[in-house]
Amino acid sequence: MALPINPPYLPMDALSAAAVPAGPGWQYEPKWDGFRCLAFRDGGHVELQSKAGNALDRYFPEIVGPLLELKSARFVLDGELVVPVGDHLSFDDLLMRIHPAASRVKKLALETPALYILFDLLVEDGQLLASEPLKNRRAALERFFLRYASHKPRIRLSPATTSIAKGRKWFKTRTGLDGVIAKRLDAPYEPGERTGAVRKIKKIRTAECVVGGFRYASHSREVGSLLLGLYDRRKLLNHVGFTSSIHHADRASLTKKLKGLIAPPGFTGQAPGGPSRWSTKRSAEWKPLAPKLVVEVQYDHFTGGRFRHGTKFLRWRPDKAPGQCTLKQVEREGRTPLPTV
């Protein structure tokens, strides 16, 4: 008998929120700085799947092994892959794992092994739990972890609480986190959906954007800025801003990569370079790109359909699908400034 759900099965997503929501019916969890990952086991086969629906198992053999050793043979878990280095989590070391050479992956798995932090259980012993409320799924996950996985050092259980005081404390003080996730206890698991039943509250404002084009630097044939796009409800890619905080040492190799992706139209909705009293001839010149690259940026404000200032480049996100970069990420944060929690 096959599992009731199989990859690709897109994980439930979160809406951005300005503050940790209070009131009855909420569960709070740390927001881990890693790769979202669904783990499917059906007998002697394990598949790890990214948020975008891509296979991750070949990159994390140190996680596949322990999952195959569990005495439960048919399950689906939701969690986060992270790489601890010293007393912190290293996203840079995590990115290095997405490497084509098996020998390199094996070496990194030994030098900087990953952890798989669990926060949801969608299938247990072949039975579908996704339609159950989170309260039931969390109880099942805790039983599953204690029964099968608590002795596996590479598999961890994410803490959770219904205490708003503890949730706010995690947001303020806990190191190694970039925020808090709040989930409705009565909500079922809605794959591929971004709903108010799951909310993310981040310590800094960030968004994952599609790179829809680029501009060359002044008096140079190297990239000067990346043009950022987000998809609207009509699935049109709209230009929402730019980032120019690219390390000088990376510009030559990045320019070569971008040139290989040049393809019109770049943006299918609102495009950059429209006439205005501030634009110049050079600012209207840009190269369109195929929507392949996803970048995470930090920003201050989002109003009127765009970032109000230049954004700060944080990192590439190969684990995210371009189609998942939507305006929903910033709609709520565009309405209300982030208060002190």
Q: What is the CATH number of the domain that holds 310?
A: 2.40.50.140
Q: What is the mean pLDDT of residues 132-151?
A: 97
Question: Which CATH number belongs to the domain containing residue 78 in this structure?
Answer: 3.30.470.30
Indicate whether 112 belongs to any domain: yes
Give buried/exposed letters for 11-34 (b at 16+ CB in 10 A, else e): bbbbbbbbbbbeeeebbbbbbbbb
Instruction: Give the count of domains, the chain.
Output: 2
User: Residue 149 pLDDT > 60, yes or no?
Assistant: yes
What is the model's pLDDT at position 284? Answer: 54
8 Å CB contact between 295 and 27: no
pLDDT tens per residue across span 320-341: 999 999 998 887 543 333 222 2
Euclidean distance between the first and the last CA atom of the chain, given in angstroms as a whole number: 48
> Which pLDDT band, with edges at 50, 70 and 90, does 280 fall under?
very low
Indicate whether 121 belongs to any domain: yes
Indicate whether 195 belongs to any domain: no
DSSP string for residues in 153-174: TTEEE---BS-HHHHHHHHHH-
pLDDT tens per residue across span 93-125: 898 998 779 999 999 999 999 999 999 999 999
What is the model's pLDDT at position 99? Answer: 79
User: Residue 266 pLDDT > 60, yes or no?
Assistant: yes
User: Residue 308 pLDDT > 50, yes or no?
Assistant: yes
Shared domain check, 38 and 154 = yes
What is the model's pLDDT at position 305? Answer: 86
Q: Please, which residues have CB within 8 angstroms of residue 60's CB and are 6 or more apart in sequence?
A: 48, 81, 97, 109, 114, 116
316, containing H or E segment: strand 312-316
Q: By C-alpha distance, which of 21, 53, 16 is closest to 35?
A: 53
List active site positions: 31
Host domain of residue 65: 13-19+32-160
Shared domain check, 154 and 38 = yes
Shared domain check, 331 and 213 = yes
Indicate whether 6 belongs to any domain: no
What is the model's pLDDT at position 332? Answer: 52
Q: Which residue has the higher pLDDT, 282 or 276?
A: 282
Q: What is the mean pLDDT of residues 224-250?
A: 94
> Which pLDDT band, with edges at 50, 70 and 90, does 19 fall under?
confident
User: Residue 152 pLDDT > 70, yes or no?
Assistant: yes
What is the model's pLDDT at position 45? Answer: 96
Indicate whether 229 belongs to any domain: yes
The reported pTM is 0.72
Instruction: Calculate the average pLDDT of the chain.
Output: 89
Beta pairing partners, 55: 49
Shared domain check, 230 and 135 = no
Indicate whether 341 belongs to any domain: no
Q: What is the mean pLDDT of residues 208-223?
A: 93
Indicate whether 271 belongs to any domain: yes
pLDDT tens per residue across span 36-85: 999 999 999 999 999 999 999 999 999 999 999 999 999 999 999 999 98
Rounded Cα distance, 257 and 211, in Å = 12
